[in-house]
Structure 1
């Protein structure tokens, strides 16, 4: 069985919108996988212990299904179909959200990401600061996407994050690029290739939760570019193995 791409999203600074973009990516991935007429499927894994829970951001905190504190792995293989069916569903995306910071386990994270990738594309929302959980999440990804606002302080903070990332497997997304600090210049400062620019999207701030069907066209196009790049990186890694 061929594995689908795994994409990690992390912010260069607080408030960069990484969790929202991770959800957009997962929603677009699910829509793409269902374009042939079947129901789409993707996975969104919360890897940030103090984010407040991705299910809350998405407005599906009351949906039935397992959260991190209910994950129990007792050895052996993990059936992707069982994993998919036991998680809350949000617009054809299976969501594993944090409900207790101490529940995040690096070994379990690696196993879950690998199993999920056998069923569909996987997006991981990754915390900024170094930890065993972040290391496991990044090592599980084919492509990491670093998001930074086009502000001097934000770029300075993002430089510390970028220093720990593999530039061959990392793409940079810039929010709010301006003439005074263009996206290309930010990419040069961070040593990363710029994949695109992320504009303001009112749909991502809806009180009732994020709805990928209301995301602006430009945001969806950027998400599609990320998905294509992740697929390319994954194929290169398979060829090199």
Structure 2
């Protein structure tokens, strides 16, 4: 269903379509094919990661949504990609299975899929095809599958979502423990800002994902029960 917000229909996340996973396009983790945002803890944007380093952004840049999280790309695991889903999805797959021994099968497959953010929108994921291979053990409760698939998608430009902030203000009931803080080299650093109950979508997109060419980072492993489709 859609909830009107002005002239823009807002669809509840549980009513949106997602793609990717053991029973979908297997080159992607669960729900990770399609539109995504990169969630980054605001403390990583406002405080340096090392005692001698510099913070990627200033508080005013967070408030104005102009903070560039790109410098954090050199830090492993600096953000978490989260799918936003879409209003339309196309997905499917082809799979060939052959017996290799009693209760064991090998499989060769190719899955495909695409997500549209909104009906008729230009915001559409690329048409992804992910080939792979797997093994099936035909257990009494159903096939136990081990699949490995390869996705060709490399670096993506993703919007960054973090927490909005405001200056620390004791007259508004703020206490010292509300301040934004982070452990830097074993020392807890803090700034005179606190979190707001709002999210900030930063304007500069950031590069995320493995680079071009073959990379083990493009492989996706799934272990599950039951056939894929």
Q: TM (normalized to structure 2)? A: 0.20
The structure with the larger Rg is: 2
Instruction: Identify the structure with the greater strand proportion.
Output: 2
Q: TM (normalized to structure 1)? A: 0.19
